[in-house]
Amino acid sequence: MRQTLLRIKALILAAAMLVSMTGCGSTNDKKEEDMRASTTVELQNEPQKGSMSAVTLADIPAYAGDPYVVINDNNPFFTEEEIAKATTSWEEYGDMDELGRCSMCWASVGKDIMPTGERGSIGSVKPTGWHTVKYDFVNGKYLYNRSHLIGWQLTGENANEKNLVTGTRSFNVDGMLPFENMVADYVREDDGHVLYRVTPMFDGDDLVCRGVLMEAISVEDNGDSILFNVFVYNVQPGVKINYATGESSLDDGQTAETGDSDSEAAADTDTVYVINTSSMKFHKEDCSSISSMNQANKKVVASTRDELISEGYSPCGICKQIGRASCRERV
């Protein structure tokens, strides 16, 4: 039953993206075919198992409003030998290149390597292309997050510079997080392993990646529960990004609010927050809704607002507005 639900969840993700591109009740067959073509990437060359050389940025269609596109009919490029070796848990983080950029990271995610303690600080890491910049229309205001290639909830890595890239809020939360959650849910509840690989893709000497290739397969059931291969776009609607430097501007050419030394220092000051690992909300200590929070989902952390946002959390609505608690969160 659990496996069936996860498969349905994966189908819903794909269907939701397709519906958003085609529109409900569309009768224009030609338009639907064109949109489907931009949803699923057909590779020009026959992909080699164990190799991602067949996938280049030239194969990826221009961003059209959806956070990701499906690659190779959702079939990852793992070899049979790699899958066979993933029945035990392990993790590997690729070396950074001469520009200091991250490379491929992968893991056989099992319950025994998932975190059981509190998150650590990641504010000391400045990935290539990092800028502290705000836009009022971005959720949490900060354009960039320190985005984990392999999510913290999967392997518990904190300030590992080999595992953190400069990623937009949309890339982090709308693009990567749903797939990370799918893997984490399966491993926690079915106690199996998922072979999981994330590869940042840069254009030339750009300091900010254009996106990441995310691949996963549930090992013990050979992909019956988890199976995906997607490219997630590192974009933020309404913002133009200079991927060579990480600088950005509004689409109308205006410059965003950038952080000064005082705001950076404030953002790096740890504060005690209460986080809900299920709803992905964080609360101030005096929030009244904390008392009704499910204890299994409750964690007390010393962190910064910026770090929590970069890890996929969003502020409690009432705490954010008035700094005190009377928020009501269903947990």
Quick: pLDDT tens for 100-125: 999 999 999 999 999 988 888 899 99
Best CATH choice for the domain 2-259 from the list 3.30.60.50, 3.30.390.50, 3.40.50.300, 3.40.570.10: 3.40.570.10
Q: Rounded mean pLDDT of 262-266?
A: 42
Q: How far apart are CA 147 and CA 171, in angstroms?
A: 9
Output the average pLDDT for the chain. Answer: 80
Q: Are 141 and 315 in contact (CB under 8 A)?
A: no
Q: Rounded mean pLDDT of 251-257?
A: 70
For 46, other C-beta atoms within 10 Å of its C-beta total 6
Q: What is the residue extent of each domain of the chain?
A: 2-259, 268-322
Summarize pLDDT for 216-248 with one digit per residue, the tens: 999 999 999 999 999 999 999 999 999 999 999
Q: How far is CA 244 from CA 183, 207, 210, 247, in A?
A: 32, 5, 10, 8
Residue 73: what are its φ and ψ, rounded to 5°? 55, 30
Q: How far apart are CA 266 and CA 42, in angstroms?
A: 47
pLDDT greater than 80 at residue 6: no
The model's confidence at residue 56, banded by pLDDT at 50, 70 and 90, is very high
Structure confidence at residue 10 (pLDDT)? 54
pLDDT greater than 70 at residue 253: no
Category of 73 on φ-ψ map: left (φ > 0), alpha (ψ -120 to 50) or beta: left
